[in-house]
């Protein structure tokens, strides 16, 4: 589907939110991601597109996502920085299983590493919009406090638990299990190292595989 670049804004140092207008509302569920292709990408070994988690709401004509712009960065990200309002890009169909379960009574454990927090933004906004109060346990790990995102959004939802961990401290699966109900559904999102490390810990501690869903934001060493 065709997208038209609207604007970008810096949410925190090196972290940018991109907004595109879509020709019609994209069919997706809060928590899903899309592959975005941008024009003008030169010699990128990974090609012109990347996958981004949507932080906007289904039904809206503006699609939003966030990304980290490291130095150096890929030709794909350089092309994103060169976009002018009105420039065209495109996206594929949305995918992903970090979505809300149908049963509203299941306790939800959202674990985010850095900009992996993007995976929960649309879900929390949806719960706020529909005034649905679900038990949500939120664990957010950052390498620096200045990288904290969406503080207002998460503060406006009645989270059952809101735990921020800043490096050199680390979130452990044991900590999560000690502070959330045993019948929870566990969501993990962040860098590959963050997600795979926690997933292995959860499994070692006896959490069934089918109670864990995860997205790792590949390409980044850390988030
Ligand atoms: C399900 C899923 C959801 C995702 N959601 C998001 C999301 O919401 N937001 C998001 O940002 N990403 C997301 N990603 C990851 C995203 O698709 C990209 O893989 C990621 O942003 C890295 O982008 P990049 O390859 O353009 O590398 P960059 O971000 O440009 O670089 C990655 C690393 O490589 C280094 N590097 C890059 N180019 C060079 C070079 N020429 N020389 C030396 N070092 C270099 C950088 O300094 C950096 O350390 C998601 C991935 C998946 C699978």
Rounded Cα distance, 19 and 16, in Å: 10
95: β partners: 33
pTM, entire model: 0.96
pLDDT at residue 223 tops 90: no
Rounded Cα distance, 209 and 18, in Å: 34
What pLDDT, in 10s, does the model give residues 53-107? 999 999 999 999 999 999 999 999 999 999 999 999 999 999 999 999 999 999 9
Please report the atom of ligand 1 found closest to the CA of residue 221.
Answer: 49
Whether the CB of 219 sits within 6 Å of ligand 1: yes
Distance 37 CA to ligand 1 centre (A): 14
- Please report, in angstroms and rounded to a whole number, the separation of the first and last CA atoms in the chain: 29
pLDDT at residue 222 tops 80: no
Token readout for 133 is: 């109060």
Nearest C-alpha neighbor of 118 from the set 26, 211, 15: 15
Distance 26 CA to ligand 1 centre (A): 23
Rounded Cα distance, 169 and 14, in Å: 22
Please report the atom of ligand 1 found closest to the CA of residue 118.
Answer: 8
DSSP state of 24: S
> Which range among 9-13, 103-107, 215-219 shows the weakest confidence by mean pLDDT?
215-219
Whether the CB of 53 sits within 6 Å of ligand 1: yes
Distance 115 CA to ligand 1 centre (A): 11
> Which range among 17-21, 40-44, 128-132, 138-142 shows the weakest confidence by mean pLDDT?
40-44
Rounded Cα distance, 32 and 27, in Å: 10
pLDDT band for position 220 (cuts 50, 70, 90): confident
pLDDT band for position 6 (cuts 50, 70, 90): very high
Distance 139 CA to ligand 1 centre (A): 23
Q: Cβ(18)–Cβ(97) under 8 Å?
A: no
């Amino acid at each position: 589907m065709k997208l038209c670049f609207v604007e970008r804004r810096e949410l925190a140092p090196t972290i940018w939110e991109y907004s595109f207008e879509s020709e019609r509302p994209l069919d997706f569920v809060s928590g899903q991601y899309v592959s975005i292709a941008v024009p003008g990408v030169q010699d990128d070994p990974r090609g012109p597109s990347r996958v981004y988690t949507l932080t906007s709401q289904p039904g809206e004509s503006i699609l939003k996502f966030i990304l980290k712009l490291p130095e150096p960065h890929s030709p794909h990200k350089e092309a994103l920085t060169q976009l002018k309002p009105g420039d065209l890009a495109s996206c594929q169909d949305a995918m992903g299983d970090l979505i809300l379960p149908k049963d509203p009574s299941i306790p939800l454990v959202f674990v985010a590493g850095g900009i992996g927090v993007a995976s929960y933004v649309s879900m929390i906004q949806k719960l706020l919009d529909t005034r649905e109060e679900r038990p949500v346990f939120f664990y957010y790990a950052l390498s620096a406090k200045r990288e904290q995102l969406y503080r207002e959004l998460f503060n406006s939802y009645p989270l059952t638990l809101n735990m921020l961990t800043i490096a050199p401290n680390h979130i452990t699966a044991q900590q999560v299990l000690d502070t959330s109900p045993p019948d929870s559904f566990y969501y993990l999102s962040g860098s590959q190292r963050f997600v795979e490390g926690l997933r292995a810990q959860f499994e070692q501690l006896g959490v069934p595989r089918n109670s864990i869903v995860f997205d790792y934001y590949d390409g980044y060493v850390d988030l």
